[in-house]
Chains A and B, each alone.
Chain A
Amino acid sequence: MSESRVIEPLIEGKQTYETITEQISSVVSKQKEHPKAWFAMFLIGFFLVNMLLVSVTYLIYKGIGIWGNNQPVAWSFDIINFVWWIGIGHAGTLISAILLLLKQEWRTSINRFAEAMTIFAVMCAGMYPLLHTGRPWVAYWLFPYPNILAMWPQFRSPLIWDVFAVSTYMTVSILFWYVGLVPDLATLRDRLVFKPARYLCGMLSLGWRGAASHWKRYEAAYIVLAGLSTPLVLSVHSIVSFDFAVSLLPGWQTTIFPPYFVAGAVYAGFAMVLTFMVPLRALYKIENLVTMRHIDWMCKIMLTTGLIVFYGYIMEVFYAWYSANPFEQYLMHNRWYGPYAWAYWLLIFCNGVVPQILWSKKMRHHLPTVFVISLVVGLGMWLERFIIIPVSLHRDFLPSSWGMYTPTVWDFGLFFGTIGFFIMMMFLFIRFVPMISIFEVRELWYRMSHRKKHAEPVKVGVNE
């Protein structure tokens, strides 16, 4: 891409600071004009959350025997969904942190949304390990603290690394999101008419007044938070992959797992951002802020990470052959021709074949296609974890200890329940919090209009 080419702008239409502020904050301030579709989506989420509550209640009452987990498949939906959700969360951190460090200005209109997605996805992910312990009321045993049992966690196990990684990730994601939100809460405090809401925003904005010295420290802290989040997000999914890679099981013990898991996480996460953003930008009429350019670039990242993931699948086949290990080779044979072969080939179709459509610019600009592909990728990434976890476990070394795995209605109840929780939280966020960072869009607008004054083409996304 040559730098002199004029690229479509990232903010469309004739804008002022006021129109930008009004457009984004009116979603929150004009509650009576909220689109009806919001209620439909909220109700779907609310219904599924009730299903989640029933599933969790019965689980705690009865124990994890209500799931399909068995011997030899001791890990299944609980870990599949944990890895799936946490992967979805990673796109938020990638957009907000890595793209900030790379000075990608187009992140500005999607980062708030993606960060919120991260937080809710990590909440969903966190439920699974807690419930999977079987006794969630003693989940605090996971943390190292002096206790009368005289017991400590085993720090040489990736499972305790997971505890540290996921809880740090959750905390840092919330801090990052909140710090980004403070100046916008100050804007809402100064704009809202409804008094209790103004007081609430006033308290939450901590009395932010936009002083120059404050902005200076703010930006210093924000960029370092981005610098901290970047290795953090890579470490979280690497550690998640160590849960598998450190074991001796065929199909799990491969060195490619950490990078392949991280790429898969970003892939699923961008798919989820697109799943939400494509309908939302039409529903809330923010097409001028989340432009076709944004959709196009997100599709390209999805395609790139999809190719890395597909490379991972090819390498797994290569490892199986090159290892000359009969167990590894049988694993691959079992994936291709075994009882779960349909899942493997569906995975290849979802993650390997379908995303290739995105090579075409015409298709990247055709929103229904993008939406469908994003759903297919979401399914594909779920199947990937299904292939890795139960399919590797159900036939390992000794044929005498082989078995089959079938999920029960409670497995699905919990899974769809967390999807409902995610939908409900996302729609609450969209309604009550500015879903696009107002001050960053203002700043971007200022920089873009400045460049126009100097008769330069708007070079968005190109390093300055």
Chain B
Amino acid sequence: MSHEEAAAPQVYGMVAEFESPDQLLEAAKRAKEAGYRKIEGYSPFPVHGLAEAVGCNDNRVPWIIFGCGVLGAIIGLSLQYYVSVVDYPLNVGGRPLFSWPHFVPVIFECTVLLAAFGAVFGMFGLNGLPRPHHPVFNAPGFLRASQDRFFLAIEAEDPRYDPEEIRRFMVSLGASSIAEVDCE
């Protein structure tokens, strides 16, 4: 409570609104060239090349999925080995207890199940979701970021952050509106 009175609301950054995905992509590329590092684009559908343009080269999701898949296969195999060979061996006409071809379907299903969990939870986890509130939601007109408008944010943490310069820069790139957005 007390610290709230002392400090002025923190600034999230400058958020510019664009009317088309091409403008947003172009603006993101130009901002990157101009030397901004803490930038993020927001769009109502995936725009190809935008993530790379804002400097996101995160390829961890497929590796998480792979790891989970391997773990699933190990769990599937060891479960069946333990049950069929160690804990509950059944002698069926002298056939081998470790009859691995029969174990393939369950190993496969366990692999798929864990890999799918890895895909969903890994993706949402790396995205920092669920997170109901985010400062960018304070940007004017941001409701349309999930509908038909395209936004580019340059965050206050950027070393070259200067509201006036960014305003001029974004207007020159064709932004239809631009505003400084507070964290509160």
Contacts and interface: CB of A to CB of B under 8 A. Distances in A.
Interface of A: 16-18, 21, 144, 150-156, 158, 160-161, 164-165, 168, 171-172, 175-176, 178-179, 183, 186-187, 189-191, 202-203, 206-221, 224-225, 228, 231-232, 235, 239, 242, 439-440, 442-443, 446
B41 to A, nearest CB: 4
A186 B146 contact: yes
Contacts of A203: 130, 132
A232 B105 CA distance: 10
A149 to B, nearest CB: 11
B129 A206 contact: yes
B113 interface: yes
17 contacts: A152-B88, A155-B84, A164-B105, A168-B109, A175-B117, A190-B143, A191-B147, A207-B131, A209-B136, A211-B127, A212-B47, A213-B58, A214-B129, A215-B45, A216-B58, A228-B119, A439-B45
Contact of B87 (A21, A152, A221): A152
Given A18-B147, A187-B44, A212-B43, A155 B132 contact: no
A48 to B, nearest CB: 32
Interface string B36-59: 000011111111001101101011
A215 B150 CA distance: 13
Given A164-B105, A211-B42, A215-B50, A224 B119 contact: yes
Nearest to B144: A190
Nearest to B126: A217
A212 B56 contact: yes
Given A17-B44, A190-B146, A228-B115, A208 B129 contact: yes
A207 B130 contact: yes
A172 B118 CA distance: 11
A208 B56 CA distance: 17
B51 A213 contact: yes
B106 interface: yes
Nearest to A173: B116
Nearest to B57: A216
Given A155-B103, A168-B112, A190-B143, A211 B41 contact: yes
